[in-house]
Structure 1
Amino acid sequence: MPSEFDRFIAQARAERGSFFDAARPITLARAPGWVDLLGGAAAHGGALALGWPLGGSTFAALQPDPEPMIRIRAGDVESCLPLEALASGGRPREYAEIAARVADSAPVGAAWWSAALGAWAALMREEFVVFSGGARLLLRPTDGPGARESWAAATAQSLVSAYGVRISPRELAMGCQVAAGRVGGRDGGALGPMISVCATAGELLLLNPQPAWQSGGLHMPHGSAIWALRVGDGPSHRGEARYHIAAAMAYRMIADAAELTPQQADARWGGYLANIGTAIFARRYRDLLPPRLSGADFLARYGSPPGVIIAPDEIYPLRAAGTLAVEGHLRSRSAVALLRAAASKAQREDDLLLVGEIMADSHWHQRAAGLGDLHADRLADMVDAAGVDRGLLGARAPASASGATLVVLARAGAEGELRAIAERYAQVCGEPVGLFGGSAPGCSPAGTREIADN
């Protein structure tokens, strides 16, 4: 039976002589969506993150074109943008100008437009790639969790392969992150791009975000599975932005309590709360952080940390934010140790149950820090009520950048139970609830294919 990628290759081949020129080769790439099992919400504070590549993937087919025009088709939507909108006189434009031109030219409802064109812009500005002409891009975008990162990654991989650009997978992922923030207007961090580019199918990608370095991969134990649930269009990102600010405030207050200047604190802890250490944080600093503090009170004493915009009338959960970053790092490391140790069947069962408990603990610590939402809480309660006897081991709200509402650790045969939960909750909340599973490789390990025959 042909794979989804094989079917896309057949679709691209059928476009030769119509959308594509019949005489020039076509390069094809794929990139998965993603969700984090643990750590993604606390990665901003330096916590180890465990990322999972989902089965839903974006497929891209790209053909360089001597005409300086970028043409993109996705489904029934087709539009174009002159290469001159991204570069002038052989030099790339500034990101702000590119973002404005991309936004002005976006087709209605084409969320993938800025991600795909952002990949072009980032390669030009970050990697100094010079594109002598335009291109034709056939895109089949996924709409599941982590879709934005997969749109950019599939496009970027097809570009560098078609043009023979030598670039490491990590640098390609960092370019996708820059594209999301500077052109797409929403930087969700390095975890999503790293998964969409670098992850191996069926393995957790371990990301050390200090800065973004892959710390290897980890096979999930036999008989286990990871699923993502999404309510409607997914969670709001407001809580995550507020948490990032609260974490920066907590870091500044801890530095002051340790009688360190900001520069000295960075020299000791590298700018990350997670590096303070769980025991030292619990003994010396946690109780010094107020549970709630207004932006005005913080600014009056400390001023604003570099690059952080604090709203004077906002109330920030400093203690919960600091605790989430420090203890989140410990939770992720503990889960990795348990999963690596799950060799025998008996030990595997105990370890998976413990990882499920760690996920549940993470969920409620995130809620205390203002992350997640009521949909995630209610779905987590439903998963907990179904319990281990029905194959559901644990759940938590993942990083909101993934677009998923809940990530679930389950036994491999629990899909039916999760679908039943999704259907019941959809009836209660009045919104569609999607279930996403499987696993596919990142665009780098997946490699590219080429259609070159006439």
Structure 2
Amino acid sequence: GLFRPDRVRYLARAPGRLDVMGGVADATGSLVVASPLHEGVVLAAQKRNDRLVEMCCLDPQTGQTVDELSWSLSQLYASDGQLLHADRFLAGLEGAVHSPGKAVSALIYALLERNRLPPLTEGFTLAVWLGITAGCGAGGMAALQVAAAQCLATLYGVQLDSAAVVAACQHARRTIMRLPVGPMDPLVALHGEPDGLLQVQCCPARVAGTLPVPQGTRFLGIDSGKRHPQAEEKYRDAYAAAAMGFKIIEALIRRHGADPLRAIQCLADVQPADFVTRFRDLLPTRLRGREFTRQLPEGLGEACPIEASKVYKVRSRTEHHVYENQRVHEFVSLLARARHTGQVEHLDAAGQLMYSSHWSYGQRCGLGSLETDLLVNQLRKKGLACGIYGARVSGGGAGGMVTVFCADGDRARSAIQEALDTYRAKTGIQPTCHEGSSEGALAFRPRRIE
């Protein structure tokens, strides 16, 4: 077996997340709303008596191995005992280009670099049961890293609070793996509550509270079963263009001296009215990478290298992030009103904001897909009469998961099933429903297994 029976093991679990509203705008500081999924990641860890790190990913249904990675602790350190540069360490992980093992390895490096783990002198074995389909847009990577951080901290007797876990996950993803992502996923994996919507304010990163779901309604996810082959590249480009827009706005404010706007730390701090009247028309619709770096040589940071020859659609990508933050705030207010009044018009208005978000994902961000459009359109046709309030592509977009807001009743269930049947008939793809929720990793806590 993977583990020795005479040594203690620790078990941790973290859920995936259903991005209800906000999505990619978490990377630019927006308020986002998400729910922990019923599905998640389970990870077990045990110390070894050698210097190997052995990772094995298992199918939770069959128990079959789906991915393996092994490396020696010597690959972490230079001859003087100092950590190697992260790029050199990751380059030495053969076969881990996109594997779960790379995400965990980056997390281990981040914990060591931030002095959250002691220098490693003995290896360990990690077994991972992935209950979330890779690439479906349900926060699987963050759930895996959260579970790994908690399990390893317990294994080595280290105290890690939630802020330290989120910081390590963000360092692993943004600085080491160079993925320009926001803090939503690890925060939901940690703090999520069953049957509640976690509000996350992303600049600075903090939990803003849990919003109860209005009585008689529910949220569910539909995995379209299709992910654009260049989904990660499309996401990076969309983020880079929005980040360029923010840098240009900052430069415009500096150029004009004292500004009546409150200090802005991120794109979400730019109010839509100010954006329209003061900045929108000064942003280029398209900008080549080399032209941006000529004007602003500081670039966008390690997480987002700029390609000199690539053309970035700055204005439209920036617009999405500014307006998405406003949509999320309105969405939260409408759900609160619906919960207190029971009036269906508030549910309908919240759903319309989801449809607007979906449109903006595709038309402003370039993160739509034929498959998710088909699912959303089929659900929208069913409409309020069938208990369907709203739907939108979620997560990083470009395929993946669709979030649905609907009544909790047979009529809505039948309407959703009909939409799924139509989708399968038109695409030949079997979509998968994700229903229900679960507690976050802070409530589960790592458990000792003798």
Structure 1 residues 28-37 or 235-244, which shifts more? Answer: 235-244
Structure 1 SS opposite 2:198: strand
Match for 2:110: what amino acid? A
Match of 2:4 among 21, 42, 57: 21
Equivalent pair of 2:27/2:181 in contact (CA under 8 Å): no
Q: Which runs of 5+ in 1 are unaligned?
A: 1-17
Match of 1:62 among 45, 49, 52: 45
* Closer/same/farther in 2, CA of residues 270 and 310 from structure 1, 3 Å limit: same
Equivalent pair of 1:206/1:216 in contact (CA under 8 Å): yes
* Displacement after TM superposition at 1:411 (Å): 2.1
State how far apart, in whole Å, the 1-side matches of 2:405 and 2:367 are: 20
* Displacement after TM superposition at 1:157 (Å): 1.4
Match of 1:93 among 66, 84, 87: 84
Corresponding position of 2:61 = none
Match for 1:73: what amino acid? C
Structure 1 residues 354-363 or 322-331, which shifts more? Answer: 322-331
* Closer/same/farther in 2, CA of residues 80 and 328 from structure 1, 3 Å limit: same
State how far apart, in whole Å, the 2-side matches of 1:156 and 1:117 are: 11
What is the correspondence of 1:13-412 to structure 2 with a 5 Å cutoff? 18-75=1-58, 76-77=64-65, 78-87=68-77, 91-102=82-93, 104=94, 106=96, 111-130=99-118, 131-144=120-133, 145-182=138-175, 184=177, 186-235=179-228, 236-258=231-253, 260=255, 269-290=263-284, 292-295=285-288, 299=292, 302-304=295-297, 306-307=299-300, 309-311=305-307, 314-344=310-340, 346-347=342-343, 349-369=344-364, 370-400=366-396, 404-412=400-408
What is the correspondence of 1:1-16 to structure 2 with a 5 Å cutoff? none
State how far apart, in whole Å, the 2-side matches of 1:288 and 1:299 are: 14
Match of 1:428 among 393, 418, 426: 426
Deviations 1:140-194 (A, max 9, x none): 1123322222222222211112222111112212212322345555443322122
* Displacement after TM superposition at 1:213 (Å): 1.9
* Displacement after TM superposition at 1:303 (Å): 4.0
* Displacement after TM superposition at 1:297 (Å): 9.2
Deviations 1:200-259 (A, max 9, x none): 222222222213222222222222222222233534133322222222332244345445
Match for 1:84: what amino acid? S
State how far apart, in whole Å, the 2-side matches of 1:241 and 1:42 are: 13
Match for 1:361: what amino acid? S
Structure 1 residues 310-319 or 378-387, which shifts more? Answer: 310-319
Match for 1:440: what amino acid? S
State how far apart, in whole Å, the 1-side matches of 2:34 and 2:311 are: 31
Deviations 1:323-379 (A, max 9, x none): 2222211111111122233334623x3322221111111221222322322222222
Structure 2 SS opposite 1:167: coil
Equivalent pair of 1:239/1:372 in contact (CA under 8 Å): no
Q: How well do the aligned residues superpose, as a CA RMSD in angstroms?
A: 2.9
Q: Which runs of 5+ in 2 are unaligned?
A: 59-63
Q: What TM-score do the two structures reach when normalised by structure 1?
A: 0.84
Equivalent pair of 1:376/1:397 in contact (CA under 8 Å): yes
* Displacement after TM superposition at 1:398 (Å): 1.5
* Closer/same/farther in 2, CA of residues 331 and 69 from structure 1, 3 Å limit: same
State how far apart, in whole Å, the 2-side matches of 1:270 and 1:211 are: 12
* Displacement after TM superposition at 1:314 (Å): 4.2
Deviations 1:108-143 (A, max 9, x none): x98221122222222111234123411122211123
Identity of aligned residues (%): 25
State how far apart, in whole Å, the 2-side matches of 1:91 and 1:416 are: 60
State how far apart, in whole Å, the 1-side matches of 2:179 and 2:221 are: 21
State how far apart, in whole Å, the 1-side matches of 2:399 and 2:143 are: 12
Equivalent pair of 2:290/2:307 in contact (CA under 8 Å): no
* Displacement after TM superposition at 1:309 (Å): 4.7
